[in-house]
Amino acid sequence: MQKSDTFTLLSNPSHYVPRLIADGVAYTDLQNIWNDQEITSMEIWCEKWMNLALEYQSYGEEDLNDGFEIAAGENFWRSSLYNHYGQFLLWHNQMLKGEAMNRKVANYKKAAKLFTPPAERIEVSYESTFLPGYLRIPIRSKRPPCVLLLGGLESTKEESYLFENLCLARGLATFTFDGPGQGEVCKDIRARPDFEKAASAILDVLENRSDIDKTRFGIIGRSLGGYYAARSAAHDGRIRACVAWSVFFKFDFWDRMPRGLKDGFLYVSGKNDEDEAKVYYKSFTLEEAAPKIRCPLYILQGRLDVIFPPEHAELLAREVRGETTLDIEERGTHAAQNLAHVVRPRMADWMARKLA
Amino acid sequence: MQKSDTFTLLSNPSHYVPRLIADGVAYTDLQNIWNDQEITSMEIWCEKWMNLALEYQSYGEEDLNDGFEIAAGENFWRSSLYNHYGQFLLWHNQMLKGEAMNRKVANYKKAAKLFTPPAERIEVSYESTFLPGYLRIPIRSKRPPCVLLLGGLESTKEESYLFENLCLARGLATFTFDGPGQGEVCKDIRARPDFEKAASAILDVLENRSDIDKTRFGIIGRSLGGYYAARSAAHDGRIRACVAWSVFFKFDFWDRMPRGLKDGFLYVSGKNDEDEAKVYYKSFTLEEAAPKIRCPLYILQGRLDVIFPPEHAELLAREVRGETTLDIEERGTHAAQNLAHVVRPRMADWMARKLA
C-alpha cells in the first residue's frame, strides 16, 4: 500500500514526535507505534492508537476500583490523548475520525473530575451551539488570575493538560476551550478569522465567577492559536497579557504548505477546494489587529519553522504598540516543540509575572 | 575504537531510554545524543552530556536574569540531571566522573531553592560523614506525612524530582537522600547490606521537625533501593508503609549480570575483584528481614526484568507477615521503567492512601 501524503508528513519524526511527547504521549507507546510495520495509512495509525487508548481506559477503571483516583485520572487522560492523536491528521475518514473524537471527549470528561486540581467542564452558549471548555483553579488559591489556552489547527482542549499544570503551579487558573473550527465545535462552526468573538464570549462568562479575578485575564495560543490569541488581545481589553506561541501575520504561505496540512486547513474551514480555501484564509490577517494590541505580548517562534515563517513573528513585533518580547528560538522548529522543555516553563513564568 | 562492554549495555535503548525519559531527560536531547556517531565510549558519552548540561546551566542563568524563577529551576535541574546521566555508568574514569558529579550536585543545589515547593537541603550526621538529602513539603499543607525516597545502584537523590512531584501532588512530603554507596556519600561510605541504619538516622532527624507528621513515615526505594527500603521497613517501626519498586530477595544472580553492571556493583562496594564482591553481596539478603516487615508493603516487579528475577518478588511476598500487594507487570522491564507512566502514579497513590 502506498503511503498517503498525510502519512508521509506524519512519518517525519522530527516534526511530530517532540510535540506528542511534550503533550503527554508515553515514550514507549510512541516508539512501539512508530516501529509498527503494519501501519501504512492514517486509518491504521488511528486504529492502533484507539486500541492502545482502550488499554489505558481499562487501567483507569482498575485504578478506580483500587481507589487510586489520581492514577485513574491520568489513565483516562492518556486514553483521551491517544484517541486524539489517532485522529488528529485524519481528514478523509469521517466515520473513524468521529468515533475517535467521541472517545477522546468521553475519556477526558472522566479524567477531568480526577485531576488535581479538578477541571470543571463549562459550556458557553455561542450562536446556535456552545463552546465547551475546562476551568481549573489552583488549589487553595484566592481569586487567582486566569489564562485562556487556545489550540490551533488540529489541537484541541484535551491536549493542554500538561501545559495547564505548568500554569497552575505558578498560581494561574486556566480555561482551555474549543472555539470555531476546533474539536467539539468544528461540526457546528468552522474556523473563522474573527476568533476573538469566541474568546470574548468566554470572558463574558468567566468574569462573573467569584473564584477568579476578572481584572486579570491572559491568553496563550499555539500555532494557529497564536494568531487567534493575538486577534483576541487586539479586540478585547479585558486581556491583560498575551502569548503568541508561534504565529503568522497574514496567510501568504498557502502554496508552500504540504498536501496533508492543506487538507487540514480545508477541513476545519469546510471549504471544498484549494482555490476557495486560499481566498478564504486571506481574511486571516493581523494587519489591522496588530496595532490595536496594547497589552504585553510575548511572541515565540522557531527559526526553523517550515510552516509559519519566522519573519512573520518579527513583523508582528514591529507592528504592535505595547510592550513586546520577541523570542525567536534559533534551533526551534514549529512552535519550538523540539524545545518544549525549555520554552514552555518560560512562557508560563512570563504570563504569571505579567498577571501577578 | 571498540565499544566497551558498559557502553554496549548503554546502547540497548529498551533498557535505558524509558528510564531517562521518565526521570526528566528531554526527548530531543536524548535522540540527538543517541544518534551521535562520535560517541564510541562512556567517556565521550559523558562529555557530550556535560556539554549539554552547560547549555541548560546558561538557560537557567538567563531565566534568572529575566525573572523567570521556576523556569530557571527546571533548567538548573536538567543541567544537574544531564551531568548525572553523563557519569552514571562511568566506573573507570574517576577524574571525569568526579567532575560530572560535582556539577550535578552544584546545579541541583541551585535548582532546589527554585522548585515549587522548594527543596531544603539537610545534611544528617552519620558516622564520620553526613547523609545529604532534600526535604520538600506540599504547599500550604499542615504536618503532612513524609516519604523517604531511595535511589539504587547508580541512581542518586538528584534523580527523583519528578517522582517527588507525584508524591507532593498527593499531599505527601518527600525526603530524598544519598545513603551508603550512593552519590555524595559513596566516597566516604560504600554500599552496605544494612542500609536500614542510614534510614533510621534520617528518621531520627525528621521526627523532630514540626512541619511533618512523625507518626506517618513511608519509604519507597527503586531497584537496589527496593532492597534497601524493605530492609528499612523491617528494622524501623516508624515506617508505616513501604514500596519496593523492584527488589531482590538475595543476591544469587551475580554470575548472570553483564560486565558493565558488575563493574557498578564493584565500584559502589569498593571491592577490587569479582570474587571478593560476589562474597560480599551474599550479605545483601532479606532472608531474616522479610518476616519482620509488618507495615503494608507494595512490591512492583517487571516480569521481563533481566536483572532482578521476578521470582524474588514473589518469594518476598510469601515471606512477609503484613499486608502485601504484589504487582508483577507482565510487560514490565527492570523496575517497569518502560511502564513508568502507568506504575509511578499508582505507587504514589498507594502510598498516599496508606499514610492518609
Interface confidence (ipTM) of the complex: 0.90
Do A77 and A136 form a contact (C-beta atoms < 8 A)? no
Beta-strand relationship, A120-126 and A129-136: antiparallel
Q: What 3-state class would DSSP assign to B272?
A: coil
Cα B255 to Cα B237: distance, rounded to the nearest angstrom = 35
Whether the model pTM is above 0.90 = yes
Any chain A CB within 8 A of the CB of B116? yes
Has A92 been annotated as catalytic? no
H/E segment holding residue B142 = none
CB-based contact (8 Å) between B353 and chain A? yes
Which residue in B has a C-alpha nearest to residue A70's C-alpha? Answer: B349
Yes or no, beta carbons of B349 and A63 under 8 Å apart: yes
For chain B, say whether A170 makes contact (Cβ under 8 Å): yes
pLDDT, tens only, A38-84: 999 999 999 999 999 999 999 999 999 999 999 999 999 999 999 99
Residues of chain B with pLDDT under 70: 1-5, 9
Any idea of the CA torsion for B271, B275, B278, B279, to the nearest 10 degrees? -90
Q: For residue B78, list chain A residues with Cβ-Cβ distance below 8 A.
A: 341
Best residue in B70, B136, B323 for a mutation probing chain A (most A CBs within 10 Å): B70
Residue A96: pLDDT band with limits 50, 70, 90 = very high
Mean pLDDT of chain A: 95
**Angle between the A161-169 and A340-354 helix axes, to the nearest 10 degrees?**
50
Q: Is B58 helix (H, G, I), strand (E, B) or coil?
A: helix
| pLDDT in the model for residue B5 | 66
Residue of A32, A55, A64, A68 best to disrupt the B interface, most CBs of B under 10 A: A68
Tell whether the model's pLDDT for residue A1 goes beyond 50.
Answer: no
Residues 6 or more apart whose CB falls under 8 angstroms from that of B179 comprise: B131, B150, B185, B195, B198, B199, B228
CA distance A74 to chain B (A): 8
Average pLDDT over residues A27-44: 91
Closest CA to A150 of A230, A249, A80, A92: A230
Is pLDDT at A111 greater than 50 in this prediction? yes
